[in-house]
Every structure is written in structure tokens, then in C-alpha cells.
Chains A and B, each alone.
Chain A
Amino acid sequence: MNEEKTPKELHDYRVKLFRDAQNFNRPERLPLNGNIWSWMFIDAGYTVEEAVKSSEKIQKSTEHISKTYALDSVGGEGTRNATMISNTLGGSPQYVIKGNNVCVTDFACMDIDDYDAFAENYMKSMYEIAFFKKYPKAKTMTAKELAEAAKSAVDFTNTIFADYSILTDKYGTAEISDCEWYLGFAFDELFDIYRGIKNLSVDIRRCPAKVKAFVEAVDGANFEAPLNAINQSFNGPDMNRATDVFTSFLGHTILSSKQFEQYYWPYAKKLFDTVEKKNKSLILVAEGAWGRFSDFFNDYKKGTIGIYAEDDDIYEMRRKCPNITLLGGLNVNVMGKGSPEECVNITKKLYNELSGDGGLILSPNKMVSYPNDMKSENLKAVADYNATCKINY
């Protein structure tokens, strides 16, 4: 089994599992993505508060997860919550982390009157408006102090690369987020970074044209180079990686289908069309429920799009979207509160009813972040069971 393979052989085997699953090409077994985020620190014996301040503790946690559980992809490289950066600027006004409690406030670092400025010059506005509004201490810092603070972003990036190196080179995982292209949507920047959930919910009613102008300007700038690069890349998947493109929807949770069509779909369609045309694959983290938008995705050929089924029923989504690869099935309510037997039973049910010719990647349905999201013995039971499975076609 896995013990007989070198890390490189294991990595290549796992990449093939992910690719076969995503392409509906009869994988030998279901690939298992841990979707493990801040929970890795707790399971490694740290508090989230102490771990996020230390590259060393983050990397020890990453290593602990890789050693302890037979995951094909850990799913999170340990660097969620970039507090190493915000601490250099006087601390985050948005994230409050005490012990294992992570509180995210609905913070706005852009006013409703700033839309025009952002649409006109995004970089200038990000710096002159958002940066200093979020971190007023930065206004009192010297050029040398700000330059030294900026080193924290370099260290943070190095931590991410070191974590990927631990996961892939040493333990042979095929990380689904370690792909060639990561793209984020402008509407999510408004939702998650600049305006917050409450303000943006009002803005799409009070000034929808300004929201639309922001989205067009920012998506237009952010997508141009990656879309060109995908278009110019070789045809077909990169078999050194579990997927080719990684992206997310966050703010769709406050939108109707008509609004989704306005704010996400123009560039989502460009991205999905490009991925399909180049015979590549994309994984989309769509937080919450996205089933009401499923008609947008139903014409893409199998193998193009994989989407997490967080709050949607995965069995119902399989019926509604036969062409979409689904990630999920391991409900964190069961994984966090049930017994190992119950967790193995939900895994068996997924094998029996959804494995088909592929199109399913086993995963906790939500980002595993808090103590009650997962029990160690449940993850171990599911991972050990899954590692021995073989699908008979």
C-alpha cells in the first residue's frame, strides 16, 4: 500500500486519483481531501492563537497532519489568517483570535463614496484608502519601518512554499490548492475585504451600477493575464498537479440568480470557457449553498469544473449536476460529533451511491477550522478505511 511507495510515487498516484475522479475516468478509489485548516494547529497540540504567530508551529502542524492521517490532499497549507502580516501594522481590526476562538468582524476599509476611485485606479485606492483605514498605525510609521513590515509578506509566502514542500516532497500529498493558477473574483473582494457583508448587501440595492463598475474594472484587470496564460499553455491537464485552476465564490451567498449573472458570471464564464477549451480542470470553493445557480454550470463537459458541496445536499447535487465533480460528503457535524463507525458508514454510503465512474472527491463539506469540526479518531478511521478501498467497475 502507501508505505511501499516513495513520496514521489505516492504523489503521482494521488494526482492520478484526483485527475481520474475529476474527469469521470474510473479512479481506483475515491481521493480524500482533508479540507483541514486551523484545526491542524489544535490537533498538533497548539492553540490557534499561538500557532498563527509562528512559522515554525505552522510547519510542525502541517507535518503532524501529513504524518498522522492518510490524506491524498491536506487541503489547507496552514497559513489561513495572515496575522504574521497584520501584527507588523499594529494588529488586525477584523480578526480577533483568542485561544482556539477565531472571531471575524464585518469590517469595511472602503466607504460607499469610494467606489469611483477604486474603479478608476484600484492599486492607488487599495493603498491610499483601504490600507491606512485598516491600519491607522501605518500613518505614523517611517519608510524604513514600513519596508521592514513588508518583509513579513515575503516570510509568509516562504512559509506557504515550505508547507507545500513538506506536504508534497516529504509526504507525497497532491495538494488541490497547489495549482498553476489561482483566481479570485472582484465581488468577493468587496464582500470579504473592502465593504463587508452588511454594507455590500445594501450597496447592491442602493448603488448597483457602482458595484458593477467596480467588478468590471477589477475583474477585467485581474483576469486578463491569467486567462491569456491559460490560453497560451499546453492543451490538457498538468499531470504534476491535482488540478489546474483554483478559484472561489464567497459573496454569491447574498445574491439572487439575476444578481449572480451580473456580478460573477461575465468573468466566471470566461474562465470556465477557457478551462474547458484547453481541456483543463478547475476546482471552485463555493461557500454555503450554490444549488440555485446550478443551471449556469450544466453545459460544461465533464472534467472541467469541480465544486465543493458545502450546504447543498451532495446526493441532490449529483442528480442536478451530472457533469460537475463534487467535493464533499463528509459532513462536519458527523465528523465532529459522531463515532468512527458512523463516519465510516457515511463514507461507505458515498462509495455505494455516488462513486459512479468518478465525479466525486471525498472531503469534509466545510473548512475544518474549529475544535468541534472534527474528531481525530474519526478522520483517522475514514482515511484508513478509504486507503484500502478499491472500486469495482
Chain B
Amino acid sequence: MADLTKFPEGITEIAQYMDYIPATEGDPEKTMNDRVDAFLNFVFHAVAEV
């Protein structure tokens, strides 16, 4: 199991559980990238609080 505090492996692990971000059929790489981007967006909002 990945260390969740490490970038990018921790985020890749977390992204596996973000199934509320719609999957792109037949393109698991894009699905994963969309979920990683969504998580980084969350991190930025949380750090910046804007």
C-alpha cells in the first residue's frame, strides 16, 4: 500500500476511491488523470481556502 502523504503515489492511491468523478469508458488512464486532477483541486482549495 502506498504512503498517502507522498506525491504522486499517495494521490494515485486516493484517486482509486473517487468514483464520483465519472469514468471515461475504455480509457482508464484519462479516468485516473481526471481523478488525480480533482484531488489536486481539492488540495489547492483546502490549502488556499478560497
Contact = CB atoms under 8 A, between A and B. Distances in A.
Closest 5 CB pairs of A and B: A147-B17, A153-B42, A150-B42, A124-B7, A127-B7
A315 interface: no
Given A82-B49, A143-B13, A153-B38, 4 more contacts: A82-B46, A128-B5, A128-B6, A146-B14
A132 B46 CA distance: 10
Contacts of A154: 20-21, 38, 42
Interface stretch (A87-95, A298-306, A320-328): A87-95
A363 to B, nearest CB: 20
Nearest to A141: B4
Contacts of A80: 50
Contacts of B45: 82, 85, 153, 156
B42 to A, nearest CB: 4
Interface of A: 80-83, 85-86, 89, 92, 94-95, 109, 121, 123-124, 126-128, 130-132, 134-135, 139, 141-144, 146-154, 156-157, 189, 192-194
Interface string B12-50: 011111101100000000000000001111111111111
A86 B46 contact: yes
Nearest to A95: B49
A104 to B, nearest CB: 9
A86 B45 CA distance: 8
Query: What secondary structure prevails in chain A residues at the interface with B?
Result: helix
Contacts of B18: 147, 150-151
19 contacts: A81-B49, A82-B48, A83-B49, A85-B45, A89-B46, A109-B47, A127-B40, A128-B7, A131-B43, A132-B5, A143-B4, A143-B16, A150-B38, A151-B18, A152-B42, A154-B21, A156-B45, A192-B48, A194-B47
A126 B13 contact: no
Nearest to A148: B17
Given A134-B47, A189-B48, A123 B40 contact: yes
A153 B41 contact: yes
Contacts of B39: 146-147, 150
A130 B8 CA distance: 15
B4 to A, nearest CB: 6
Contacts of A149: 42
Given A143-B13, A146-B4, A150-B14, A130 B21 contact: no
Nearest to A125: B7
Contacts of A144: 17
A373 to B, nearest CB: 20
A147 B15 contact: yes
Find the residue from A142, A150, A157, A194 having the highest chain B CB count within 10 A. A150
A126 B44 contact: yes
Given A126-B43, A128-B5, A146-B4, A193 B20 contact: no
